[in-house]
Structure formats: C-alpha cells, structure tokens
Structure 1
Amino acid sequence: MPHQVTVSIGGRDLILETGRMAKQANGAVFAKYEGSAVLATVCCGSSPMESLDFVPLQVEYNEKYYAAGKIPGGFLKREGRPKDKEILVSRLIDRPMRPLFSKEFKRELQIIPTTVSADQINPPDIVAMNAASAAVCVSDIPFAGPVGAVRIANVDDELIINPSFDQISRCTLEIVVSGTKDGITMVEGGAKEVPEELLLSAIALAEPAIKKLCEAQEQLMALAGKEKLPLVVEEKKLERRQEMWDFAYPKMEEACFVKGKMNRGAAVKAVKTETAEAFADDLNEDNERLFNALMEEMETKVVRSSILDKGVRTDGRDLETVRPITCEVGILDRAHGSALFTRGETQSLAVTTLGTVYDEQMMDNIDGDKTYENFMLHYNFPPFSVGETGRLTTGRREIGHGHLAHRALEAVLPQKKDFPYTIRVVSEILESNGSSSMATVCGGTLSLLHAGVPIRKPVAGIAMGLVSEGDRAAVLTDILGEEDHLGDMDFKVAGTEDGITAFQMDIKIAGISSDLMKRALEQAKKGRMHILGIMNATLKEPVSDVSDFAPKILSLKVDVDKIGAIIGPGGKTIKAIAEQSGSEVNIDDNGTVTIFGKTKEKAEKAREFIKAIVEEPEVGKIYEGTVKRIMDFGAFVEILPGKEGLCHISKLSRKRVNSVSDVLAVDQKIPVKLIEIDRQGRLNLSYIDALEAEEAK
C-alpha cells in the first residue's frame, strides 16, 4: 500500500512516496518537487561478511535523458558511462550518509537515485539527496539518519532556499547544506568573493529546513518503515588486549611524532610489528583484524590527546601554523604557463594551456540546452604521490577534487569577451600529505598568472580540521593526511584577499556549533592570507603577454550585414582567408569575429583580409589595387575584395597614353587613389595621383 508525506521547502512541496514503485528493493522512495522527480532505491547484500571493517557503500546517481524529453547524443543513442555531474551528485549523497551506517552491519550497500523527470527549473540533485535518505529510512537497513539537504543561494542580496536554475545563474553564493536533526554534517559550494559572515548566515538559514526534512522522513518511516536487520555482534575478543596496550602505547607515543610522513608511517608500522612479534603466541588469522583495530585505536588516541591536551601535532606544529611553502613558476619550457606549489609534503605541478574556441568542452545534460565550457580544470592523483603502486585512473576522488578547485578559480577568471581563450589547467599531484585540492588551487593560480591570464585576483586555499571530545575542541589549520583520517572534520576554504570563492566541509561527528564554525572560518582566513602573501611574493600579476607557443587570438566587431560577405558563397571567402593567412576564423551571429593564428603575424594577416572585406571605400584614400581587366578606355582595378573601380586612361599619366596596355598589365599590383564615388556608386580611380602622392612623402 502506498504511503506519502508532504513537506513545504522553499515555498514548494516536496512529496515523498513509498510502496508503489520498486517494491523488491530493501527500500524505495519516489520524490517529487514541482516538475522534478527522483526514484531512489537502496539494497544490501543477502548475508553479512564478517571480514569487513568498513562501510561498503556505493551511491550511483544517474539522470535519464527522457526525464527532460531528450534523446541522448552519440552513435548509440542511450545513456553511457556516468557523466562528471552524476559522479559529483553521487559524492554529495554519499558523504553525509556514509558516517551514519554502522561498520557492524557488514553488508554491501547500494543506493541508486534516478532522475526520471526534470522540469529544467528545479535542480533534481537536492531531490535525490533527500530521496536517498528517505529510502534508507524506510528500508530494513540500520541507519542513524535521517539526513536532510537544501541548496541556499544569495540572489539580489537575498538568501533563498532551493533556488531555480535561473536564480543559480545569477547568484553570488551557492551552497548545498546537509545534516541531521542534531546539526550540519556537510557544506559544499562556490561564491564570488563573499565574506565569511554571509556563509554563516546561509548555513543558519538551512538548519530549520533540514530539520523539517528529517521530520518528514521520520513520519514516512512511521507509516511504512520496515523492521531493521540486526548488526553483527562481535563475539571474538582479543586476548591479553590490555597487556598489548601497555606494551605498545609508550612506543606509539614516540612513533607518532617522528618527523616526515614516510618516516612516521614506518615508525608506526615498526611498533605494530614489534608488538605482533612480542605476542605472537596470542595472534593468528582469526584475530588479526582485532589486532589491527587495536593499533589504530592506539594511534588515534595518541594523536588526538596530544592535540587536545598539549596543542601539539604529530609534525610538531601548533594548531594554527601553516607548513613551509615554496612557489616556483616557469617550470616547463613549452607549456603556456606552469607552476610548482609545495606546502610541507604536499606538492602540485600546475600547468595552464591556452586554446581556441574549437577546444571548448561541450556540456550535454538534462538541465537545459547544450552549453560550451571554456574553462577546464583536471586533477590527477598518481599512486607515486603517496609512495604506492597502482593504476593510473580518473576516479570519483579526482573528479570531486578537480571540481572544487575549478569552482575556486572560476570566480576570478576574465570574461570571454575580454580574454577569448579556452583555458585548461591540469594539476599533477606529485606528493600528498593533506589537502592536495587546495594545493591545486594555489598552483593553479600561479600557473594562470604565468600564462598571462588576466585573473582579477590571486586565489589560495587551505584545509581546516577538528578534534573534539565532550566540551573540548581544537581547530587545526592546514591539516595533515592523518589528521584528516583520525580527526572529526575536513573543511576546505578557498578565496582571495577579499572573500571566499569555494568551500567544502565534511563532518564525521553529529554536527558542530555555529560558534565553532565561525572560529574555523576565522582561522582559515588567517591561514589563507598567509599563503597569499607567499604566492604574491613569487608572482602577483599576470605576465604581460601570453607564451610564444600559445595560439594568438584577435577579435574585431563587424556589422551583422557584413557577415555574409566574410563567409562568401558556400563558405568560399572565409575558407580562402584561412588558407592564405594560416589562421582559423570564427564568426558569431552578433558580428564578433575571432581569429586564431599560430603566430601573431598570421592572425594579423587574417584580420587585414577581413577588414578589407568589410571596409567601405573612402574618397581620397590610396589603395593597393589589383588590375583585373584592361579596356580601351581604361582599367578595372580591385581595391577591396569584391570592390572594383575604373581607372580611366587619362588617369594613368600626365602625358598622353596611347594604349592602357603600355602602362598596365592584368594582375599587376598598383597604387590607386579613389577620387570619386558617383551617384550610381561607381568608383573612379587615379593611378597618377597615387604615384605623385607617394613621391611627395
């Protein structure tokens, strides 16, 4: 029997329904928000896997083209592998939900939210986030939810809940906020240099709406929720656990403070090995997992206790110190722009490449018409960056980190009309020990400046952490990888000297207070300013000109009625311009002509061709003409493409000329002066006047 609840969010009703569709799944919810609808399902493995010591969760958000009344492009005409947008939404759903599943459930989990209707007004990703949580709530899978999610945007200086696509395109701040009834657990978004206070206000506006969404899901659970499956109670116990703790803990206290990530990792591993050898008679394959858990618990306690009790971190820093930073530019000779940014043991080689309009990325999704993106940022995380072997792949992590850095830098890029290049930034992570995405932002900024891209202001990023127990809490600036893994928060903030451009916050605990969030933002701003100071000392302004190896782009504006003349019949004229100049020419419907040349000289040659086509003949001006035809009474000379005039025989010389052929020949290049345009628009030229004018110079 179908059950349904309705909750008003942002002035529109979100309807959550279960019991009508996908009834063989462990849980299924059909969510509708105006004309956008998502079917979310969740399933789990049939039996527990005792060896699992993590949450094996998969989230596979997908959008069907039929949802927007479209047929997919491409040869096969069907949906293919996940698009970047689908992967990013999957991560949005995964991150706030994953910590709420128990490791003791020990079954594979798969959540599949499918957008089946898209009105192209209301973004379906927020609908999918709430539908996914609701599906798990009504299922028989244990879950410490529900989770609610809303989008907040600042449009025309007003914060609104769940903006439309049109409103998002006009906003100065856009964030997705997710949480439980106990507090905020995730924030992600971008902005156009907004102050920290505006971000806090947006999060505060989201909290009541999230609580309403959680209450609605609880109502649906009360109507149709299934009895939860049992957790796997750990019956095995580690013999001599306390003795192992007493033996290893003092050694672990020393190992956790060895300088250097690789050295510290080796020291921790040595303690583990020494303890295993000392208690070899008590360890076997059956309790290996319990032993590993004990050692991780020990490391966690050492790291967290030192931070809370002493304010000292594993690399010896206090809570607010940023690791040593070095910045270099011009690392690669042939790249259009390059920079090497190193912060502690995290290093990004950022490379900027400039292309033409033909290099733009086409975006085809269900949100609206096809669009073209002229800024791309790609993040690569090879296994050698953490001293490991593995395959070179582009996974969800790479796409997510790249998207965050893309948001951070996009806010300061010049408009296309001012800098008509397609821009691609690639960040190669060469070393990683915490916040490589923010190193990408810093390195990306420097490489853009080195490429001559006139960004409005430099952007820097920093990652903040949190360790909390009871009433005690420590906010960490510029976190290490282990502080991310063993801590309670990963809060990345990027921005300029004047405001925030991108941020992402994930919290592993129930939630944090607004005061603690404000403290983290203030500390992040201080760290950001420190990093910007070092970056600015290396390169603060874009170099004066783009690389000699970059394409040269020139633009000019012509009257719309001249477009046809430039293109010519069947594109004959524009093709001839491209061939003769060695450049590519693109014309927009508004009359903007963009020329792409491999060299400046080739681009300027194409521009002269085009200017000649659109130029109107000017009386008194001297032109370099070409003799096209010779008649008894004179010669017809082409002074501009498609524009000929008559040079009468009397205008060839001050002396008598018996035959035009005595002076001129067909295809001869000669200077001529336009002396008249008669009432019928005919051009009268003079060869002798042009010669005399040139001699007089």
Structure 2
Amino acid sequence: MIKVSTEINSKEFSIEVGRVAKQANGSVLVSQGDTVVLVTAVTSGEVREGIDFLPLVVDYQEMFYAAGRIPGGYFRREIGRPSEKEVLTSRFIDRPLRPRFPEGYRYDTQIIATVLSVDPEIDPDVLAITGASAALHISDIPFDGPIAGIRIGRVDGEYILNPTKGQLMESDLNIIVAGTSDAIVMVEGGVAVLPERDVLEAIFEAHKGLQPLLALQEELREKIGKPKMVIPEIPRDDELISKVHELAHEEMDQVIRIPGKMERNEAKKKLRARVIEDLSVAYPGREREIAGYLKDLEKELMRNLITKEKKRIDGRSFTEVRPIWCSVGELPRTHGSAIFTRGETQVMAVATLGSTQDEQRIESPGGEFFKHFMVHYNFPPYCVGEVRPLRGPARRDIGHGALAERALSAVVPPPEDFLYTIRIVSEVLESNGSSSMATVCGGTLAMMDAGIPIRDMVAGVAMGLIKEEDEVIILTDILGDEDHLGDMDFKVA
C-alpha cells in the first residue's frame, strides 16, 4: 500500500493505492477530511470494431451509507436512474479526461467513482476528478496525464481552494477548474455577478492550486505505475487519401462555405455518396475508411478557411453574433413564454409559477433539501432534423439545463422575497450551436413575461477557439460545425 498526501484548505488531501479493488487496471482511494471516494479505471483490452469514437464511460455514484443514511422509497436501496448531481459530476469528470486519450483508442473503458464516506463539509465531486486521473495514470491504460480538479471559492476577497460547504455559503464564486501542469482543460461554475477580471484571477489561482495534486500523481506513477498498453497505429492509406482529395477537394471547399446548416449537410451527404460510389470498385468494403478521410478533409478545409482566409462558414466576422429575433407572450395559457432565435438556433422557453408545495424535494446522502427554482432542457430529435424515439432526458439534456439554471439563478429573487416556486422549461426547436445559452436568453425573457421580479437580465453565448501552430483565433457565437471541428467550446453567461 502506498499513500501520498498534501494539504488543501488546512485539511489533508491523500491518494492511496494498493489496498482495495486490485483487479481493476487502476484504482485509488482519494480522501479529504472524512470524505472518501474510490475511483477505478478498467479497459476491456480488446478493440471495439466498427466505431470512430472513444468508447469511454464515466459513472459517479453517491452511496447513502456514506453518510450513515438508508435510502427512501420502497426498495430501500440505490436503484434506478442516477440523480442530477451524479449525472453532472460524471460529465465534468469525463470532460477533461476524454481529450487526453490517444487518437484511435478504441478500447471500451469505464471509470467508476464511488463515494464511500461523506464529510458534511467536503463535497466529493472534485476529489473524483483527481481520483479518475490518478487511477488512469498508474494503470496500463494509455492516458496523457495527469490532470487534477479543484474547486475555488472567495470569501471576503480571499481565495479558498476546495472550500467547505459553510465557506461556499459565504463565497461569491464557486468554480471547478481542471488542468495539467501547464494548461487549463476545463472550467465550470458560477459567480455572483462579478467582473471578468475577478473570474479570470480565480481561474488562474485554481490552476496554481492544483499543481500539488499533479505532483502526487506523478509520485504514485513513479512508485507503482504499470507499463502502458501499446495501441496499434491506425493504418493510413496514402494512395486512398490522395484519391479522396482528388475527387472531393474542390467540391468540399465549396460545400463548407454554404451558410445554411441543412443545405450544407445535404451537400456533404451527396458529396460523400458520390465519392464512396466512385471509389467502391477499386476499394471495396472500405466505405467507412473513405468517409473518415472525407471528414478529415472537411476539418482541414474548414480550419484553413478560418486561419488563412480569415472567414467563417456563414461569412461572419470572428466577433459577430448571428441575427437575433425574439418575442414573448407566445402561449396564451402559460404564466410566461418566449421564443428566442439566434441564427439557426431557436428555443421556446416557458415559465411556470407554483406554491412552496411545488418545490422539488431532493434526497441525497447529505440529507433532504428543496429547490424553488428549476430549469429543464429538452432536445427533441426534430430540432436537428433527425428521427429517434422519445425517452427520458439524456445526460446532455440534464447538463445543459444545469448550465442555464446556474446562470439564471444569480438573478432569481430569493425565496424569502418571492414565495413562488419557479420552473423554466426550454424546448429546443432548432439547433445549430449553443442551445444551452439560447436557453439562458429565452429563460430571462419568459421570467420577465411571467412578471417575476428578476434582479437583472442574463444572456449567454458560446465561444470557440481555433489554434494552428502559434496562431490562436477566438470565435464568437460558434456554429455546430465550428464546435465539432474546433478546439474549444466555452459557454459564457
């Protein structure tokens, strides 16, 4: 057993390896105060054929026994769908880890973070980020780590790393930052309407504060790390790539300049079908590979359009926001409603007022609590011209709703001043980039239409980034393609 530790916010932060869950590829116990999280990383060891994405699954689970409680409900055990907190934590563990896997890694991999013990003052969520990185870093799973996660707050102008829940109650910011030794890879959080310079300073303070957590992981890797798996390189057929470029380069360069999303997608679909048909005789059974080379060509041309020609897909400047139109009072029988449209992204936001009996009761290991303000986000398939069955909210829906809720909660009147429960529902009607930030804008309009005395208006926008060698270009109000083929999606409200 090996244990390494440092001190954060006057409490020991430790990572322990070698005593439990030894059949996983990597496992660690991460502790601070009385909070203990077990994080495991396991890979199937076999390539999953026929996919072109990283098959990574992250599951975070909070056990009620961790706080000495028995779950409510008939079955008296943790069953069914994960809570909103578990979904959101799983997402922000996944987000900084996913880009650190090697290109072409196609092995089913699962990270499970299980909260075994909960200190009422120390939230286990950020411990799980560092624990996931540590489990991967010491394992044989290829991973360009380590990364670490830390929460930062500010009380009376003083920054606090991994603040206690009591300190967070007095803090004017609550931001989670994940990073490597020399870069920030994820930021998520909210602030009490602060100047940008204060938020930026907090992010850099957090990055400085997570450096000792990276050092702990490097120490563990040096002492107990396993040799990394060798991932076979994806063979690239230069002859076939040349043929694809010969057949598609000129037309693809025209296709990526089509401003309309649906027209552009239809043109890409026709181009892909034509190229595959033309090459299918000489290269039978390699349709997926040809489609992959076409995608690479599209990415190269789109990025060249931005970095070399200084143009965007829809002809806007780098700082230009798409045309906006909005209206309120759209639905006659609701308390408040609004349509917000920005370019080809459109949401209908609906505000509903209820009594205190309508508050959401949430049972967690830390006890029961009630929410008087909720934002729910729905992303039906028609909003992107697709067909799929309607089921419950996906992780993405829960995550996007939480982003909008965090932004809008800063201006919602406190329950002691406004006795109503407030629910905002965002129905995404069209999507081409940043529907979560459209939800923020639409939610503001719907609350004003309902007569809710919000303290100010809130707007949100998604920012993108393209980096080629030493050149960095910032894009305002990114499209879906600029998100998928770019290097950053940073939502700001």
From the superposition, tell whether residues 450 and 20 of structure 1 become closer, same or farther in structure 2 (CA, over 3 Å). Answer: same
Shift of 1:57: 0.6
Cα 1:240–1:416 shift into 2, 3 Å: closer
Query: Which of 370, 373, 376 does residue 372 from structure 1 map onto?
Result: 370
Mapped to 2, the partners of 1:165 and 1:363 lie a distance apart of 17
1:238 Cα shift? 5.7
CA distance in 2 between counterparts of 1:325 and 1:127 reads: 41
Partner of 2:211: 211
Q: CA deviation at 1:310?
A: 2.1
The SS at the match of 1:272 is helix
Match of 1:349 in 2: 348
The offset of 1:438, in angstroms, is 0.2
Q: Which amino acid aligns with 1:491?
A: F
Q: How does 1:223-622 map to 2 (within 5 A)?
A: 223-235=223-235, 237=237, 239-285=239-285, 287-367=286-366, 369-393=367-391, 394-494=393-493
Q: Which residue of 2 aligns with 1:130?
A: 130
- Matches of 1:279 and 1:390, distance apart in 2: 31
Q: Which aligned pairs between 1:17-166 and structure 2 lie closer than 5 A?
A: 17-80=16-79, 81-166=81-166
How many residue pairs end up in the alignment? 491
Answer yes or no: is the 8 Å Cα contact 1:120–1:366 preserved in 2.
no
> Is the CA contact 2:378–2:427 (under 8 Å) kept in the aligned structure 1?
yes
Q: Is the 8 A contact 2:276 2:291 kept in 1?
A: no
Q: Does structure 1 retain, via aligned residues, the 8 Å contact 2:244–2:290?
A: no
Larger Rg over CA atoms: 1
Cα offset, 1:236, TM superposition: 6.0
What displacement does 1:214 show?
Answer: 1.3
TM-score by length of 1: 0.69
Residue 171 (str. 1) matches residue 158 (str. 2):
no
Shift of 1:116: 0.3
Amino acid at match of 1:281: V
In the TM superposition, what is the alpha-carbon distance from 1:7 to its structure 2 partner?
A: 2.2
User: Tell me, what secondary structure is at the counterpart of 1:4?
Assistant: strand
Tell me the SS of whatever aligns to 1:45.
strand
- Secondary structure of the residue aligned to 1:483 is helix
Q: Deviations over 1:632-659 (max 9, x none)?
A: xxxxxxxxxxxxxxxxxxxxxxxxxxxx
Are the counterparts in 2 of residues 238 and 290 from structure 1 also a CA contact under 8 Å?
no
Tell me the SS of whatever aligns to 2:129.
Answer: helix
TM superposition shift of 1:293: 1.6
Report the secondary structure of 1:442's partner residue.
Answer: helix
Q: What do residues 661-682 of structure 1 show as CA deviations (whole Å, max 9, x unaligned)?
A: xxxxxxxxxxxxxxxxxxxxxx
AA aligned opposite 2:307: L
TM-score (norm 2): 0.97
Q: Residues 354 and 247 (structure 1 numbering): CA distance in 2 closer, same or farther, change over 3 Å?
A: same
Letter in 1 for 2:399: G
The CA deviation at 1:418 is 2.0
Q: Deviations over 1:323-363 (max 9, x none)?
A: 01001001100000000000000000000011111111012
Pairwise CA distance, 1:12: 2.2
Q: Distance in 2 between matches of 1:435 and 1:412?
A: 21
Match of 1:120, SS? coil
Structure 1 residues not aligned, in runs of 5+: 495-697
Contact conserved, 1:59 with 1:112, CA < 8 A, in 2? yes
For residues 430-482 of structure 1, give each alpha carbon's deviation from its aligned partner in whole angstroms, at most 9, with x where no partner exists. 00000000000000000000001000111100000000111111100000000
3-state SS of the aligned residue for 1:61? strand
Q: Answer yes or no: is the 8 Å Cα contact 1:106–1:232 preserved in 2.
A: no
Q: Supply the AA of the counterpart residue of 1:343.
A: R
CA distance in structure 1 between the aligned counterparts of 2:321 and 2:104, rounded to whole angstroms: 38
Does the 8 A contact of 1:53 with 1:103 survive in 2?
Answer: no
Provide the secondary structure at the position in 1 that maps to 2:192: strand
Report 1 or 2 for greater relative contact order, CA contacts < 8 Å, sequence distance ≥ 6. Answer: 2
For residue 85 of structure 1, report the CA deviation from its aligned partner: 0.2
CA distance in 1 between partners of 2:8 and 2:246 (Å) = 54
Contact 1:378 1:425 in 2 (8 A): yes
Secondary structure of residue in 2 paired with 1:370 = strand
**Runs of 5+ in structure 2 lacking a partner?**
none
d(CA) in 2 for partners of 1:429, 1:240: 40
Kindly provide the amino acid, as one letter, of the partner of residue 438 in structure 1: M
RMSD: 1.2
Contact 2:70–2:76 (8 Å) recurs in 1: yes
Equivalent-residue separation in structure 1 for 2:297 and 2:78 (angstroms): 48
Query: What amino acid does structure 1 have at the position aligned with 2:212?
Result: K
Deviations 1:519-572 (A, max 9, x none): xxxxxxxxxxxxxxxxxxxxxxxxxxxxxxxxxxxxxxxxxxxxxxxxxxxxxx
The separation in 1 between residues aligned to 2:159 and 2:45, in whole angstroms, is 45
Matched-pair contact (CA < 8 Å) for 1:105–1:230: no
Contact 1:256 1:267 in 2 (8 A): no
Identity %: 47
* Mapped partners of 2:74, 2:156: distance in 1: 43
Cα displacement (A) at 1:242: 1.2
Paired letter, 1:377 = V
Bigger mean CA deviation after superposition, 219-228 or 239-248:
239-248
> Deviation of residue 243 (structure 1)?
2.9
Q: Name the amino acid aligned to 2:482.
A: E
CA pair 90-240 structure 1, distance change in 2 beyond 3 A: closer
Q: Quick one: distance in 1 between partners of 2:397 and 2:186?
A: 19
Q: CA deviation digits over 1:174-193, x for unaligned, max 9?
A: 10000111300000001111
* In 2: Cα distance, 1:268 partner to 1:282 partner: 22
Q: Distance in 2 between matches of 1:187 and 1:157?
A: 20
Q: Distance in 2 between matches of 1:45 and 1:399?
A: 28
Deviations 1:351-400 (A, max 9, x none): 00111111110122123x31111111100000110000112230100000
Give CA-to-partner distance per residue, 1:249-288, whole Å, 9 cap, x none: 1111100111210001111222222222332322322x22
